[in-house]
Amino acid sequence: MTLAKNMILVTAVALSVPVFAGGTHSHGHGFPVGEPGAAAEATRTITVELHDNYYEPEQIEVSAGETVRFVLENKGNLVHEFNIGTPSMHEAHQEEMMMMVEHGVIQGGKLNHHMMEMDMGNGHTMKHDDPNSALLEPGKSGEITWTFNKEGNIEFACNVPGHYQAGMYGDVKFK
């Protein structure tokens, strides 16, 4: 495909599909599941292993108002995500993650980091930098600190296409 056709295709996709970027991602503001926390305020640390396609542990208990530091370790062979949200948030995010796969940002066990900076129009990129989410390549680790100040139907999930459907999600239960 020529460069001109590639640019037309990218422009068409950018105009027809909701895209995400830091600050404009659908989960970037007004989280219905809590808010980003400071690691210094965390009352405890929970290590979560991301496997192909499950988490260990599969369920987490928190107290209302608790700030938890999550240490995330991708023990699988594929790129995985740890995303805190409601089922409807995950459903919407799966569409965004599909776009990352379709554009070659996620390729099985690899992230093409340089492509995450790709301009999708109007300053939107494919960055994956929301405070409620981490996207990790195999063997990599990351952290999220989260304050659970709102009770509700909350899950942690991997929204890489097919992973949620394969069972890669867990419940957040309030004590």
The whole-number pLDDT of residue 144 equals 97
The CATH code belonging to domain 3-174 is: 2.60.40.420
When pLDDT is cut at 50, 70 and 90, the band that residue 136 belongs to is: very high
> Residue 15, exposed/middle/buried by CB under 10 A (0-12, 13-18, 19+)?
exposed
Helix (H, G, I), strand (E, B) or coil at 144: strand
Write the CA distances from 130 to 3, 46, 97, 126, 142, integer angstroms.
31, 19, 13, 11, 13
The whole-number pLDDT of residue 12 equals 33
The whole-number pLDDT of residue 21 equals 32
List phi, psi (to 5°) of 46.
Answer: -120, 125
Residues 47-56, mean pLDDT to the nearest whole number: 97
Predicted TM-score (pTM) of the model is 0.80
Domains of the chain, by residue range, sit at: 3-174
When pLDDT is cut at 50, 70 and 90, the band that residue 30 belongs to is: low
For the chain, give the percent of residues with pLDDT over 90.
61
144's CB contacts (< 8 A; 6+ apart) are: 69, 70, 72, 82, 84, 131, 132, 133, 134
> Higher-confidence residue: 30 or 7?
30
Place of tokens 């370790």: 73
